[in-house]
């Protein structure tokens, strides 16, 4: 595929191969964009931002609504593209395509809701005879830098609100998974987005990232990805608005009154979906010592029932990881933990990008598999004695994106909700759950700002205060 810059589909002599992570086969190529391509994209987007700023909200709504209809027609193609380039099983790929379509529908609706307010200026000692109001105005050019793991829906979470709010958007998709973003760009153009209002530049983040983040013509950066890249972008960005949706090592607390069957089902579902490569995967499962042994016995067969293999075959329960280097890293952390005294309950093997679904018990919270973001198909079990200890352990991390607790005790549930420092709190489910309309974003090193179209529109607009004297 080609990239889209300045109203044209652009090719380059230098290409990047896009691989199917299951067998390494090349499924397509994209141009290797450079800093000049980024500069050209931003120049065009500046014109696009003027067009979008003056476009009536109803037209922005209609275009996004049309885009959502076109996505519905192409759902199967979108889902297959996601699965082929990312490695998630086909049901998850199709599920992501359906969610992405809903994200664009929700964004279309938000185009109609850019409210301001009137200000009671005469309530201030110097305000008699004045009248004030606020206008919510677009930022201008929004840069959208996105990760590999949800290559369509997370692009929609930026493109949809950016356009709904009257901005132009420059998309920099992950190099491993650019095809879904390019397909989406085509759909947006087909729906009537002005060609200057959307740009999609492919190329390595380490090469072209600074050209995107550092350009003073970009007013807003919306980034989803790893903590360290997020921090680097903030340093390069200078005086810009930023939204940072970063990583985590999400905890799931199992209190002694929990239904262990339900917890085990939730752990298998929220720990191993997309081969554990979800920012809110259940990673640290903290279990009350009273039910620790029984929980392991209940969880083990559910994890062992996950068949691994070619993600495009419908019978397969878990596909490959995105890159072999990441599978090697996850495997090393597992074996480091086992060498340090943890117990391998199931899994532990790796062949190429395919890592077995793994459960490790008796994990010391200082071990990498617990203290750092695993981002792979491994779950670490640690036991605790009291609710207070469990909450302290859950909070003993630099991350804070999502957390889960299983209990029937409303006091414990409320204590957990109030005391766990995390952007999302799940009572009686694992940490991995999201409806695309809800405010979603992390605390601490998991980032700042919220996504969900309503909240992203707020972050991609600015308030102008108008005073009539």
220 binds ligand TAP (CB under 6 A): no
Q: Which is nearer to ligand TAP, 407 or 446 (CB)?
A: 446
Contact 220, 150 (CB under 8 A): no
What region, left, alpha or beta, does residue 17 occupy, with left being phi > 0 and alpha being psi -120 to 50 degrees?
beta
> Out of 19, 60, 88, 172, which residue is the one contacting ligand TAP (CB under 6 A)?
172
Q: Does 276 bind ligand TAP (CB under 6 A)?
A: no
Tell the smallest beta-carbon distance from residue 174 to ligand TAP (Å). Answer: 4
Does residue 146 touch ligand TAP according to CB under 6 A?
Answer: yes
* Binding test (CB under 6 A) with ligand TAP, winner from 89, 141, 246, 254: 246
Instruction: Give 359: exposed, middle or buried? Use CB within 10 Å, 0-12, 13-18, 19+.
Output: buried
Task: Tell me if 221 contacts ligand TAP by CB under 6 A.
Answer: no
- DSSP E strand boundaries for 329-372: 343-346, 350-351, 354-355, 358-361
What gap in Å lies between CA 435 and CA 23, rounded to an integer? Answer: 32
Q: How many helices (H) and strands (E) does the chain have?
A: 15, 24
Is position 455 an interface residue for ligand TAP (rule: CB under 6 A)? no
- Choose which of 37, 92, 96, 373 interacts with ligand TAP (CB under 6 A): 373
Which of 204, 289, 343, 408 is in the footprint of ligand TAP by CB under 6 A? 204
Site for ligand TAP, residues 379 to 418, rule: CB under 6 A: 401
Residue 292 or 399: the one with the smaller Cβ distance to ligand TAP is 399
* Residue 333 touches ligand TAP, criterion: CB under 6 A: no
The kind and range of the H/E element at 236 are helix 227-237
Write out the DSSP string of 303-336.
HHT--BS-TTSTT-SB---S-HHHHHHHHHHHHH
Stretch that binds ligand TAP, among 77-85, 96-104, 140-148, 387-395 (CB under 6 A): 140-148
Shortest reach from residue 229's CB to ligand TAP, in Å = 3
Q: Counting contacts by CB under 6 A, is residue 226 touching ligand TAP?
A: yes
Active site residues: 245, 279
Look at residues 220, 178, 185, 229 and name the one whose alpha carbon lies nearest to residue 203.
178
What is the distance between the alpha carbons of residues 436 and 434, in angstroms, rounded to a whole number? 6
- Nearer CB in complex with ligand TAP: 172/454: 172
Q: Contacts with ligand TAP: how many residues (CB under 6 A)?
A: 32
Containing H/E element for 224? Answer: strand 220-224
Does 233 engage in binding with ligand TAP (CB under 6 A)? yes
Beta-ladder partners of 251: 284
| 205 contributes a contact to ligand TAP by CB under 6 A | yes
- The residue within the footprint of ligand TAP, chosen from 21, 48, 87, 147 (CB under 6 A), is 147
Q: Is 229 in the site for ligand TAP (CB under 6 A)?
A: yes
Q: Identify the CA nearest to 271 among candidates 167, 358, 364.
A: 358
Largest CA distance in the chain: 75
Which one of residues 160, 225, 271, 431 is an interface residue with ligand TAP (CB under 6 A)? 225
Residue 385: strand, helix, or coil: coil
- Give residues in contact with ligand TAP (CB under 6 A): 145-150, 154, 172, 174-176, 204-206, 209-210, 213, 224-226, 229, 232-233, 245-248, 279, 373, 375, 401, 442
């Amino acid at each position: 595929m080609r990239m889209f810059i300045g109203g044209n589909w652009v090719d380059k002599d230098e290409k990047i191969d896009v691989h199917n992570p299951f067998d390494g086969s090349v499924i397509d190529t994209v141009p290797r964009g450079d800093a000049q391509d980024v500069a050209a994209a931003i120049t065009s987007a500046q014109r696009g931002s003027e067009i979008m700023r003056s476009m009536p909200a109803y037209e922005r709504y209609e275009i996004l609504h049309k885009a959502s209809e076109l996505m519905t027609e192409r759902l199967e193609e979108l889902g297959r593209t996601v699965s082929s380039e990312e490695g998630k099983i086909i049901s998850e790929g199709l599920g992501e395509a359906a969610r992405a379509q809903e994200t664009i529908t929700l964004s279309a609706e938000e185009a109609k809701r850019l409210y301001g307010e009137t200000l009671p200026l005469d309530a201030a000692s110097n305000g008699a005879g004045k009248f004030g109001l606020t206008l919510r105005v677009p930022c201008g050019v929004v840069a959208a830098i996105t990760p590999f793991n949800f290559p369509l829906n997370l692009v929609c979470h930026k493109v949809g609100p950016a356009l709904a709010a009257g901005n132009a958007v420059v998309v920099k998709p992950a190099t491993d998974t650019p095809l879904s973003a390019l397909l989406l760009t085509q759909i947006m153009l087909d729906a009537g987005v002005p060609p200057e209002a959307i740009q999609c530049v492919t190329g390595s983040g380490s090469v072209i990232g600074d050209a995107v983040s550092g350009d003073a013509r970009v007013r807003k950066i919306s980034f989803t990805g790893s903590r360290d890249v997020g921090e680097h972008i903030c340093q390069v960005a200078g005086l810009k608005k930023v939204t940072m949706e970063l990583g985590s090592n999400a905890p799931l607390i199992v209190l002694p009154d929990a239904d262990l069957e339900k917890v085990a089902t939730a752990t298998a579902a929220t720990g191993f979906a997309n081969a554990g490569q979800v920012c809110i995967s259940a990673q640290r499962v903290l279990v009350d010592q009273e039910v620790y042994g029984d929980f392991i016995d209940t969880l083990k067969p559910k994890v062992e029932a996950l068949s691994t293999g070619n993600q495009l075959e419908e019978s397969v329960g878990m596909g490959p990881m995105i890159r072999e280097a990441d599978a090697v890293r996850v495997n090393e952390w597992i074996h480091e933990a086992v060498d340090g005294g943890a117990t391998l309950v199931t899994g532990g093997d790796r062949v190429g990008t395919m890592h077995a679904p793994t459960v490790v018990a008796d994990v010391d919270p200082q071990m990498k598999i617990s203290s750092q973001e695993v981002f792979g198909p491994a779950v670490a079990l640690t036991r605790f004695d009291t609710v207070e200890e469990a909450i302290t352990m859950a909070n003993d991390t630099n991350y804070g994106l999502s957390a889960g607790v299983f209990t029937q005790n409303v006091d414990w549930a409320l204590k957990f909700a109030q005391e766990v420092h995390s952007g999302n709190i799940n009572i009686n489910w694992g940490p991995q759950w999201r409806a695309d309309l809800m405010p979603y974003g992390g605390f601490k090193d998991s980032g700042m700002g919220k996504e969900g179209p309503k909240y992203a529109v707020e972050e991609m607009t600015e308030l102008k205060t108008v005073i009539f004297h």
